[in-house]
Amino acid sequence: MNTHNELRSLTTRESIVLLSSAQVGRVVFTDEALPAIRPVNFVVDGASVVIRTGREGSLSKLNGNVVAFEADHIDLATRSGWSVIVHGRAERVRDIDQLVTLADPAKSSWVPLRDYFLRIPFEMVTGRRLALPHVTSEATG
């Protein structure tokens, strides 16, 4: 087969649909002047990503910092997939009503004893797909 996969940009809407289909992503930030990354499970809540972390870890220091959040899905067999990146200023969730909703057990952290909620609003959303030229989002998302 001579056809090669092509890398193309996704629309914001396509990107958010794909992001919402994922359960695990990665927070990207700067930690003591070094690039840092932490895989986390997450939920999309309104126009933001919400993660649940511990009070002591490096993610809990991000309140007010601009971070990136990435999720992807890669198929090794076909060498195809997508990646979506959100940039936004991470903020600790302090609103009681929001916390009650977010504390839904279905949205629980995969690691026990994590009660610090961090919200990353969709300030910038970008996405890319690597696929055969004729493949659309609907067919593989």
* Alpha-carbon gap, residue 22 to 31, rounded angstroms: 25
* 36-65 footprint of a copy of itself as x/- string (CB under 8 A): xxxx-x------------------------
Q: Residue 26 or residue 98: which is nearer to a copy of itself going by CB?
A: 26
Q: Tell me how far apart the terminal alpha carbons of the chain are, to the nearest angstrom.
A: 23
The total number of residues shown for the chain amounts to 141
Half-sphere exposure (CA, 13 Å, Cβ side) for 115? Answer: 3
With a CB cutoff of 8 Å and minimum separation 6, the contacts of 63 are 90, 91, 92, 118
Answer yes or no whether residue 4 interacts with a copy of itself by CB under 8 A: yes
Q: Which of residues 8-27 bind a copy of itself (CB under 8 A)?
A: 23-24, 26
Binding residues vs a copy of itself (CB under 8 A): 4-5, 7, 23-24, 26, 28-30, 34-39, 41, 66-68, 70, 72, 74, 76, 79, 81, 83, 85, 87, 110-112, 130
